[in-house]
Copies of this chain bind each other. A is one copy, B any other.
Amino acid sequence: MAGSTFGTLYRLTTFGESHGDSIGGIIEGFPAGFLVDFDFIQSELDRRKPGQSSIVTQRKESDKVVFLSGIFEGKTLGTPIAFLIKNENVKTEDYNHLSETFRPSHADFTYAKKYGIRDWRGGGRSSARETASRVVAGAFAKSFLKSIGLEIFAFVDQVGTISLSDEEIAQVSRVEIENIVRCPIEERAKEMEDLIKQIRKEGDTIGGSVYCKCNGVPVGLGEPVFDKINAVLGQAMFSINAVKGVEFGTGFDSVQKKGSEINDLFKDDFTTKTNHSSGIQGGISNGMPIEFRVAFKPVATIMKDQITVNENGESKVLIGKGRHDPCVVPRAVVIVESMAAIVLLDFYLRQRAYQ
């Protein structure tokens, strides 16, 4: 209950500090006898890894995952799958100036006060580097879910003020997005890329949002009342670094709607004519696509000097330097997908127990 474990029947426990020996995790509850697609897992990690393009952090990490247990002759054993990813590009000296200084809008101060001690190198445990472990567990979950016809894909739908329209979002179907921004509308992607490059040149960072679609979700996943499928997906998304908002289906726009406008009327085959509910009724999947949007704030590390305080409350100038992402959403796409996959596999197993 110390917070590094997620899931009920499909469970992930992660470990690791950004500049420690390694990060990694233990996956529990993945079904036995499943052929592991190692290439797929690595390709998912590559979608998240730093240094993959010109618009993300230039930290160099190969992010090669090593499996320690739970797999035998290429198949899962049903026992815990442990894995680790070495931290290679560890430059402790880059962070020496932070050993006693609290960066604004980072977790330096809160960790220091919570624990009385912190690993100040690159954010330690609070670094988003931890999310690589989620991508591994997510890749396993995706593989399994694909085998039952459930597919999850996410994409960038907004960076700064450049956004896809509702119509554009509605039209996006499963395609590999080739561009480095991971926005499926090429024209918009180009604008976003230009904006991110401009922001980087300013030494600043910019927010963005990720839209996720889950197709082929079986009817009946989710548990009343606290473990509604949207509630657990909500926890999953807010557990991702820098997330400030989550909305399902019509989301915040629902506030302005009338019931007669957004009730999803049934067709004779029990699908619904509209999907304002995002495939969820009473916290339980109804078979329609589950869709949600996740808002990310701009990265707190900027290349501009900021006035901050040290452990003694003394004013310090924080020099803007180091490696960072000018915009986090291109790398966050696979993290959103991974967390969604972990949640949906967990609910799938939970439902199977009772049937």
Contacts and interface: CB of A to CB of B under 8 A. Distances in A.
Given A160-B255, A226-B4, A266 B75 contact: no
* Copies of this chain, whole number: 4
B220 A306 contact: no
Given A72-B119, A309-B270, A252 B262 contact: no
A257 interface: yes
A245 B239 contact: no
A224 B29 contact: no
Contacts of A306: 263, 265
Interface residues of A, number: 155
A17 interface: yes
Given A8-B1, A15-B80, A204-B258, A313 B249 contact: no
Contacts of A108: 281
Nearest to A264: B105
A139 to B, nearest CB: 18
A15 to B, nearest CB: 4
B219 A110 contact: yes
Contact of A266 (B102, B261, B262): B102
A174 interface: no
Nearest to A235: B235
Interface stretch (A45-53, A54-62, A146-154, A283-291): A283-291
21 contacts: A3-B225, A3-B228, A6-B226, A14-B80, A15-B68, A16-B69, A21-B66, A21-B69, A32-B117, A78-B114, A79-B115, A104-B272, A109-B266, A114-B351, A159-B255, A231-B236, A231-B238, A232-B235, A251-B295, A252-B295, A254-B296
Given A16-B68, A72-B124, 17 more contacts: A4-B28, A4-B225, A13-B13, A14-B80, A20-B68, A21-B69, A22-B82, A78-B114, A79-B115, A107-B224, A109-B270, A114-B220, A226-B235, A231-B235, A244-B251, A257-B298, A265-B307
